[in-house]
Amino acid sequence: MSDDDRIVELEIKLAYQEDLIQKLDALVRTFGARLDETSRELAQLKQAVRSPEVPTGPANDKPPHY
């Protein structure tokens, strides 16, 4: 294998690695955003459990015969 062939092989491998790194970076960013959203939702749920509001509406109304 000549030096030129080796350089071409290395350039090909480098191109594939750069592409893979970009794809993995996008995936990590996506999961990071989903984790942030899930953390916010969890904080909201914790807050709702700590200070429950008394819901008003048909579910809490007494039936007419009471």
Q: Domain spans of the chain? A: 1-47
The Cα 23–Cα 15 span in angstroms is 13
pLDDT of 24-50, one tens digit each? 999 999 999 999 999 999 999 999 899
- Give yes or no for residue 57 having a pLDDT over 70: no
- Inter-CA distances, 35 with 31, 43, 46, Å: 6, 12, 16
Query: Does pTM top 0.85 for this prediction?
Result: no
Share of the chain above pLDDT 70, in %: 88
- Inter-CA distances, 27 with 14, 23, 33, Å: 20, 6, 10
DSSP 57: S
The three-state secondary structure class of 11 is: helix
